[in-house]
């Protein structure tokens, strides 16, 4: 089943063309990693998927429904697309628990008790249960990112979008966040992950995309992708990073 | 000039005119400040919202208003509201005191709107993106995520704006409207003493502004950087009772 499909996606910032007609389909249950050089358009592509960036041309279909149309209630669709940011973006004025329960209470009509129960379960899963009543300011970067992940999961999304989830972390905290994502991926969550962690991409992905110069230049299963790259731009990129 | 007489003169003046200074003057100054600050904040909030409107014409008009008010002397604005506008809006039969209050409102609203707008825009864009990505509408994002954080930027700056306003009400004395500065001018006219009444009102102004600036400082410390405090959480018993109710 097709989860997200993009057709001829174009996006530019001023004169800079960032995406030049991207066609891609992500299937249900698939784990797709996106790698590529900075400024190549991988984050922009990801941010287009839930319309944090509005593409100027092209179509995006989410679970069979076009979301780029004029009269679409994008808020409804976003509830089913969790997103995790490079800069965590946890809400500093809300406690760890409230960070998680805010959206389910507001948007899904969950009662306080239900939402808190769920928050506890999620926090326990990522080892943050004892931080439940703390303010996010007291958390480390890795803990903040784990909180951001379960905050998105609390909406019970159908797909998770990760935008360089470990790039802003101290090296020693990268592992704990990747572990959480790995655990999540094992549950069959459809995921799109923009990352610079090549080893991680190779390990968890069903498919890896190489985005550079505004388009997908190569796509394939991790084994083929990393051992037998065909596009010269990818060969060059892998030579530099591996 | 005999400086040795200053202190005895001040004591004498206070004995004779204390009601004019401390009751009439302070009362009118505080009334003017209260009106202009209260209305200015309300109006300023509306102006700030309009300035972020999606309609270009609205944004243009509001920007024009803010720029004109910030770019012209407040004294000139007072003249316009005192001499010109009452002539144009004859049906609004308001006393001169109120016209000056209106002028101060219009002036403070322009400054307050900038304080509020910059306070809102200083909240990290990532906060909005995170809230929107969860499915919150733009209104919900503003109310639940952006405004609660913007208040921390806004409150101290707003406090400083109030202090400015309190001092600017002294311009009402241009029209002899009974504020503290008017008291100064009246006493000066009646006694031919210049320095002494000025020292008295200066001290009274300081007594009003200093506690206010200390209060602002307190807020700045509480809200600045140090991070958010934990709120007392409802315990599970209370939540369960709520659910049953």
B151-200 pLDDT per residue, tens: 888 988 888 889 999 999 999 888 988 899 999 999 998 999 889 999 99
Mutate which of A67, A103, A107, A111 to test chain B, going by most B C-beta atoms within 10 A? A103
Q: Are A194 and A168 in contact (CB under 8 A)?
A: no
CB contact under 8 A, A112 and B140: no
Q: What is residue B228's predicted lDDT score, i.e. its pLDDT?
A: 74
Pick the CATH number of B3-244 from 1.20.1260.10, 1.10.3720.10, 3.30.70.100, 3.40.50.300: 1.10.3720.10
CB contact under 8 A, B124 and A103: no
Chain A residues in contact with B242 by the CB 8 A cut-off are 112-113
Tokens of residue B74, six digits: 């407040």
The partner residues of A6 in beta bridges, in order of sequence, read: A24, A60
Tokens of residue B55, six digits: 């309609």
pLDDT under 50: residue ranges of chain B: 226
CB contact under 8 A, A87 and B144: no
Q: What is residue A189's predicted lDDT score, i.e. its pLDDT?
A: 96
- Residue-wise pLDDT tens digits, A122-138: 999 999 999 999 999 99
Q: Are A91 and B127 in contact (CB under 8 A)?
A: yes
- Residue-wise pLDDT tens digits, A224-240: 999 999 999 999 999 99
Chain A residues in contact with B147 by the CB 8 A cut-off are none
Taking any CB pair shorter than 8 Å as contact, residues of chain B touching chain A are 124, 126-127, 129-137, 140, 144-145, 148-149, 227-231, 233-234, 236, 239-240, 242-243
Q: What is residue B108's predicted lDDT score, i.e. its pLDDT?
A: 94
Q: Looking at the predicted structure, is the pLDDT value of residue A20 above 80? A: yes
Mutate which of B123, B124, B130, B147 to test chain A, going by most A C-beta atoms within 10 A? B130
Strand A159-163 relative to strand A81-84, pairing:
parallel
Give chain B's end-to-end CA distance (angstroms, integer).
Answer: 79
Nearest CA to CA, how far is B149 from chain A (Å)?
7
- Residue-wise pLDDT tens digits, A61-95: 999 999 998 889 999 999 999 999 999 999 999 99
Whole-model pTM? 0.81
How many CA atoms lie within 13 Å of B171's alpha carbon, on the beta-carbon side?
A: 22
Mutate which of A85, A86, A89, A119 to test chain B, going by most B C-beta atoms within 10 A? A89
Please choose, from the candidates A124, A122, A130, the residue with its C-alpha nearest in 3D space to the C-alpha of residue A149: A122
Strands (E), chain A: 2-13, 16-27, 31-35, 57-62, 65-66, 81-84, 159-163, 190-194, 207-212, 215-220
Torsional sign, CA B207, B208, B210, B214: positive
Greatest CA separation found in chain B? Answer: 81
∠ Cα B107 B113 B119 (to 5°): 145
C-alpha distances (whole Å) from B49 to each of A15, B112, B135, B160, B172 are 31, 12, 22, 21, 30
Q: What is residue A100's predicted lDDT score, i.e. its pLDDT?
A: 97
A73 vs B: CB within 8 A: no
Tokens of residue B182, six digits: 């008017």
Q: Tell me what ipTM this predicted complex has.
A: 0.93
Residue of chain B minimizing CA distance to A53 = B129
- What are the residue boundaries of the structural domains of chain B, listed by start? 3-244
Closest CB to B133 among A78, A107, A134: A78
Distance (Å, whole) CA B24 – CA B178: 7
Chain A residues in contact with B127 by the CB 8 A cut-off are 89, 91
Chain A residues in contact with B230 by the CB 8 A cut-off are 95, 133-135
Q: What is the mean pLDDT of residues A166-187?
A: 94
Nearest CA to CA, how far is B140 from chain A (Å)?
9
CB contact under 8 A, B227 and A92: yes
Distance (Å, whole) CA A35 – CA A53: 19
């Amino acid at each position: 089943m097709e989860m997200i499909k993009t057709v001829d996606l174009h996006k530019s910032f001023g004169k800079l063309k960032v995406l030049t007609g991207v066609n891609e389909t992500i299937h249900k249950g698939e784990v797709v990693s996106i790698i590529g050089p900075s400024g190549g358009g991988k984050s922009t592509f990801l941010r287009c998927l839930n319309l944090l960036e509005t593409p100027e041309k092209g179509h995006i279909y989410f679970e069979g429904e076009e979301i780029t149309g004029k009269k679409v209630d994008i808020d409804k669709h976003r509830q089913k697309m969790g997103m995790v940011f490079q800069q965590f973006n946890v809400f500093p004025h809300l406690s760890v628990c409230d960070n998680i329960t805010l959206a389910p209470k507001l948007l899904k009509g969950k009662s306080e008790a239900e939402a808190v129960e769920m928050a506890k379960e999620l926090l326990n899963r990522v080892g943050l249960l004892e931080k439940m009543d703390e303010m996010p300011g007291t958390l480390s970067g890795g803990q903040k990112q784990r909180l951001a992940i379960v905050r998105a999961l609390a909406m019970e999304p159908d797909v998770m979008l990760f935008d360089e989830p470990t790039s802003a972390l101290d090296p020693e905290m990268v592992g704990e966040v990747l572990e959480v994502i790995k655990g999540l991926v094992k549950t069959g969550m459809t995921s799109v992950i923009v990352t610079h962690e090549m080893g991680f991409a190779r390990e968890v992905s069903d498919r890896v995309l190489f985005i550079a110069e505004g388009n997908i230049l190569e796509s394939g299963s991790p084994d083929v992708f990393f051992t037998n790259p065909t596009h010269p731009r990818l060969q060059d990129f892998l030579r530099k990073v591996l | 000039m005999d400086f040795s007489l200053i202190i005895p003169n001040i004591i004498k003046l206070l004995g004779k005119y204390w009601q004019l200074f401390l009751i009439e003057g302070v009362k009118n100054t505080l009334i003017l400040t209260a009106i202009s600050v209260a209305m200015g904040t309300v109006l300023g909030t509306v102006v700030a919202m309009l300035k972020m409107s999606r309609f270009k014409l609205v944004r243009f008009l509001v920007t024009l208003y803010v720029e004109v008010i910030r770019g012209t002397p407040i004294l000139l604005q007072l003249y316009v509201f005192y001499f010109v506008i009452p002539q144009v809006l004859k049906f609004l039969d308001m006393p001169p005191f109120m016209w000056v209050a209106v002028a101060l409102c219009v002036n403070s609203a322009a400054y307050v709107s900038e304080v509020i707008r910059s306070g809102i825009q200083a909240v990290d864009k990532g906060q909005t993106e995170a809230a929107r990505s969860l499915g919150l509408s733009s209104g919900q994002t503003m109310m639940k995520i952006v405004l609660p954080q913007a208040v921390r930027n806004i409150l101290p700056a707003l406090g400083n704006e109030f202090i400015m306003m309190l001092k600017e009400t002294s311009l009402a004395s241009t029209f002899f409207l009974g504020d503290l500065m008017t008291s100064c001018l009246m006493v000066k006219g009646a006694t031919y003493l210049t320095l002494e009444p000025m020292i008295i009102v200066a001290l009274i102004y300081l007594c009003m502004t200093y506690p206010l600036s200390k209060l602002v400082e307190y807020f700045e410390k509480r809200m600045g950087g140090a991070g958010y405090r934990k709120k007392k959480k409802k315990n599970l018993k209370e939540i369960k009772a709520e659910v049953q109710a």
